[in-house]
Amino acid sequence: MVAGRFVGPFRPAARLSAVTTEIPLATGDCGAELAALVAGASIDVPDFPKPGVVFKDLMPLFADAEVFRRVIDGIAAHHGPGSFDVVAGVEARGFVVAAALAYAAGTGVVPIRKAGKLPRKALSASYALEYGEATLEVHEDAFVAGQRVLVVDDVLATGGTAAAAMDLVERAGGTVSGFTVLLELGFLNGRARLSSRAVRSLLTV
């Protein structure tokens, strides 16, 4: 695998003009191979969802069977068997990562949902993110007391979403074992806000 090259059948350059093929050396917390996979399968979309924001689109990574499998298996291997009891994922893109990782690791998955979607009594946390504000919720009985919860998402930007998600996990009785994302926007300093947590990103840009 060469950093910056697409490894699967998906070739966004043929479909999307926004793709950048000159990708700088990829670095992250889980090794050069996983960093390169994420770098090679994300697309920068300027001014989405509002002017000034460069949106990191990871849909090509999810759509490429080989890249998706290698990324999910790589996360599972990095954490090691038995290092967490359940995966929690943040709606919506985090669900894709969370469900696949839970399946690969042999655990269950707890969805942390946007407000108003859960049918039973839920805990809420409101927060700001790079391009707006939102509220997350989790069922109050989502976790067995002390259950080790690996929280996952696709992107770490300001850290507002991650902080709210982990706060909810702990208020619901879980013990956060870590927070893992595919892609971190380092210039937004989200990691500093999560300094008491074990944060891992496959790729930091």
Ligand X SMILES: Nc1ncnc2[nH]cnc12
Question: What is the set of active-site residues?
Answer: 93, 130
**CA-CA-CA-CA torsion sign (35, 41, 47, 48):** negative
| Of 7, 23, 53, 59, the one binding ligand X by CB under 6 A | 53
Kindly state the tokens that stand for 157: 């930007």
Candidates 10-18, 81-89, 116-124, 157-165 — which segment interacts with ligand PRP by CB under 6 A?
157-165
Q: Which residues within the stretch 91-120 sit at the binding site for ligand PRP (CB under 6 A)?
A: 91-94
Cβ-count burial 51-64 (b if 16+ within 10 Å, e if not): eeeebbbbebbbeb
Pick from ligand X, ligand PRP, none: which does 56 bind, CB < 5 to 8 A by kind?
ligand X
The residue (of 127 and 146) whose beta carbon lies closer to ligand PRP is 127
Tell me how far apart the alpha carbons of residues 170 and 50 are, in angstroms, rounded to a whole number: 33
Q: Which residues within the stretch 186-205 sit at the binding site for ligand PRP (CB under 6 A)?
A: 190
Number of residues that bind ligand PRP (CB under 6 A): 19
Residue identified by tokens 């269950």 is 108
The residue (of 54 and 92) whose beta carbon lies closer to ligand PRP is 92
Strands 175-184 and 199-204: parallel
Number of residues that bind ligand X (CB under 6 A): 9
Pick from ligand X, ligand PRP, none: which does 91 bind, CB < 5 to 8 A by kind?
ligand PRP
DSSP E strands in the chain: the ranges are 43-46, 54-57, 86-90, 108-114, 122-129, 132-139, 148-156, 175-184, 199-204
Binding site for ligand X (CB under 6 A): 53-56, 129-130, 155, 157, 185
